[in-house]
Amino acid sequence: MAPRIASTAADAVAEISDGSTILIGGFGNAGQPMELIDALMDCGATDLTVVNNNAGQADAGLALLIKERRVKKIICSFPRQSDSWHFDQAYRAGEIELELVPQGNLAERIRAAGAGIGGFFTPTGYGTLLAEGKESRIIDGKGYVLETPIHADFALIKALKSDTFGNLVYRKTARNFGPIMATAAKAAIVQVDEVVEIGSIDPEHVITPGIYVDTVVALGGEKE
């Protein structure tokens, strides 16, 4: 089924409810679906579990959700940055739970969820603090740690464009977590610069096939 084409970012996130687990794309500002995050802020949903590479920067987007204590748990690889003061404060106050995951394991756990994999043995993190409490195994003389998939209710993603069937094309390093997050959520919500007619994206150029995409909103290329 073709995705719903939402008229605004607020309309796109309207179904997100309290207690949801949400994958949020982006690495730094590249690929960060800022307008969707702002809409999530406005829609009032709380008690959220958020999966992102970081834990918010400065006074925008995810950082504001954390500041308002709408995020009960964050699963990320790199929460501590020079401008992550809202996370730092919430964490030190014991008001947010942190699950720290090595970046490649984070990506693979998301990929596994979308691919129907129940778990995988990875060498990353073996013998470290981040493997404590996890099953480990020696395979052909090398140590591995069992990691499990990260499933989510929603994914918020930014792509360059979508056709009306939800086939997505990304732009440069803004692709990052987008394609895997689209596969791992029950509903993938995508903000794009433009929605184009079906057939106008060369099938050889499609990065995320429309099967994974549930809602698309066109927000134009220019920042507000």
CA distance 219 to 67: 26
Burial track 163-178 (b if 16+ CB lie within 10 A, e otherwise): bbbbbbbbeeebbbbb
Q: Is 127 in the site for another protein (CB under 8 A)?
A: yes
Q: Least distance (Å) from another protein to the CB of residue 14? A: 28
Q: Is 107 in the site for another protein (CB under 8 A)?
A: yes
Stretch 128-167: interaction string toward another protein, x if CB under 8 A: xxx------------x------------------------
Q: Which of 51, 174, 213, 218 binds another protein (CB under 8 A)?
A: 174
| Alpha helix segments (H runs only) across 103-209 | 103-115, 178-184
Site for another protein in 25-44 (CB under 8 A): 27-31
Q: Which of 7, 59, 80, 199 binds another protein (CB under 8 A)?
A: 80
Find the helix or strand (DSSP H, E) in which 64 lies. helix 62-67
Stretch 39-78: interaction string toward another protein, x if CB under 8 A: --------------------------------------xx
DSSP 3: P
Q: Which stretch binds another protein (CB under 8 A): 6-14, 37-45, 99-107, 195-203?
A: 99-107
* The residue to which tokens 């964490």 are assigned: 91
CB neighbour list of residue 145: distance below 8 Å, 6 or more residues apart: 121, 122, 123, 124, 125, 126, 131, 134, 135, 136
Q: Calculate the alpha carbon distances from 220 to 97, 180, 217 in Å.
A: 35, 24, 9
Q: Which stretch binds another protein (CB under 8 A): 13-21, 38-46, 58-66, 168-176?
A: 168-176
What residue ranges bind another protein (CB under 8 A)? 27-31, 77-81, 87-88, 91-92, 98, 100-105, 107-108, 110-111, 122-130, 143, 170-180, 207
